[in-house]
Amino acid sequence: MKVLVIGSGGREHAIVDACARAGHEVLCTPGNPGIAAQARLLASAQDAPALAELAVREGADLVIVGPEAYLAAGVVDECERRGIPAFGPTQAASRLEGDKAWSKAFMVRRGIPTAEHRSFDHLDAALGHAATLTPPIVVKDAGLKAGKGVTIAHTPSEAEAALREIFTQGGAQAVIEDFMTGQEVSILALTDGERYALTPPSQDHKTIHEGDTGPMTGGMGVICPFPVSEEQLQVIRRDIVEKTLAGMRAEDLPFRGVLYAGLMLTPQGPKVVEFNARFGDPEAEAVLPLLESDLAQHALDAARGQLDPAQVRFRDGASAVVILAAPGYPAEPRKGIALDLPADSEEAKVFHAGTAEKDGRLVSSGGRVLAVTGLGEKREEALERAYALADRVGFEGAQLRRDIGFRIGLGGKPG
């Protein structure tokens, strides 16, 4: 099968790796230097019609869309118009991620458990409501923010600052919701709109510093699988995944692709923090290396409405991801820093998330630069391998958390 992967980050590198392992011919646009070792990179305009035409010209049997912005731009719709199967939700269905206010209202309509919340499209009304609440509260920009745009406000002044930033930087809506307590976990479902297969549960570490302190980022590390009880998993399947898929069908927005449910395991049961409409990043770098079956075939089956969940198989064992981020990230990441990477092995691999080539050298080009994944029979072994490989990377000033997995007794103590 000839597979075209769209995107340029660590998630797309993991998707390319999974497809290449299954023996497919892989193309990627725009790609990155790490992806170039496993796929043929294609130069192209990155708008939806141009990407769909690229798939036609290259004779792609399947398109896999990585980042959320491409879904919101309608890449899947354009591919389908040209008869190219594309794995991902349509532009309309991707609203589940792209519009947090709509997504929250959808959850209320469909009885999907989530935090108490209100949405606002005017700053003064939002400030007035926030002033009536007792911190901590959560303030979210309702638009696409690539895993950012969320503030846990511990004081009224922090809530005010977050709201002012949303509305003064072009945000159209803000969501203010109750702060939920418990363990956070990511559940990903590969789905054709009706049938679905869950990946192993994983846990991202979203803040820049150890002990879950500092600014929110797109994710600084992952442990997989994260322990979820059978009772919790039953609730997640019945009350979250299945209600969401059924609700999207009922609203004439059938959802095909990857349904990402960011959940909080609260004392009252699992509740949705947010939905995403694609593989998580860096969760993909933890989950996909554990996949033993053929990702491209599953994606093609899902795009055609024919997914067989029994065919989706993951290896026993565990994975761990350690992110190496640029100095200054997330506020002002330094770019152009020379990188020296060790060789990968079967049990440890470096995925490129923000790299480029300059004058024949590999350099940093983004905030989260590398995702280092370790595999093992147990979580401890996977984490040890990830850190061992990360420590061999030449990357001056790199930021990394040394406490990935600390919530379940791994990765040292929170700092």
Lowest mean pLDDT among 41-55, 145-159, 170-184: 145-159
Specify whether 364 is located in the same domain as 397: yes
In a domain, 299, yes or no: yes
- The domain in which residue 66 lies consists of 2-90
Q: What pLDDT does residue 114 have?
A: 94
Average pLDDT over residues 14-34: 98
Average pLDDT over residues 176-184: 92
Specify whether 131 is located in the same domain as 225: no
Distance separating alpha carbons of residues 155 and 131, to the nearest angstrom: 10
**Going by DSSP bridges, is the β-strand pair 269-276/257-266 parallel, antiparallel, or unpaired?**
antiparallel
Specify whether 304 is located in the same domain as 335: no
In a domain, 108, yes or no: no
CATH number of the domain where residue 8 is located: 3.40.50.20
In a domain, 362, yes or no: yes
In a domain, 103, yes or no: no
**Residue 136: cis peptide before it, omega within 30 degrees of 0:** yes
In a domain, 415, yes or no: no
Distance separating alpha carbons of residues 192 and 255, to the nearest angstrom: 7
Specify whether 238 is located in the same domain as 260: yes
Specify whether 166 is located in the same domain as 266: no
Please give, one letter per residue, the 3-state secondary structure of 328-358: CCCCCCCCCCEEECCCCECCEEEEECCEEEE
Mind listing the pLDDT tens digit for each residue in 319-365? 999 999 999 999 999 999 999 999 999 999 999 999 999 999 999 99
Number of separate helices (H) and strands (E) present in the chain: 13, 24
Distances (CA, A) of 18 to 8, 297, 404: 15, 11, 24
Average pLDDT over residues 65-76: 97
CATH number of the domain where residue 292 is located: 3.30.470.20
In a domain, 349, yes or no: yes
Specify whether 224 is located in the same domain as 300: yes
Specify whether 200 is located in the same domain as 290: yes
pLDDT at 393 exceeding the cut of 80: yes
Specify whether 124 is located in the same domain as 190: no
3-class SS at 134?
Answer: coil
Specify whether 124 is located in the same domain as 207: no
CATH number of the domain where residue 174 is located: 3.30.1490.20
Specify whether 209 is located in the same domain as 290: yes
Average pLDDT, the chain: 95
- Predicted confidence band at 140 (pLDDT cuts at 50, 70, 90)? confident
Structure tokens at 68: 């959320």
Mind listing the pLDDT tens digit for each residue in 284-306? 999 999 999 999 999 999 999 99
Specify whether 85 is located in the same domain as 28: yes
pLDDT at 171 exceeding the cut of 80: no
Q: What pLDDT does residue 411 have?
A: 76
Residue with tokens 């990377």: 393
Specify whether 349 is located in the same domain as 294: no
Percent pLDDT > 90 in the chain is 88
Q: What pLDDT does residue 371 have?
A: 98
pTM for the whole structure: 0.93
CATH number of the domain where residue 399 is located: 3.90.600.10
In a domain, 106, yes or no: no
Domain ends where: 135, 150, 178?
178
In a domain, 99, yes or no: no
Total domains in the fold of the chain: 4
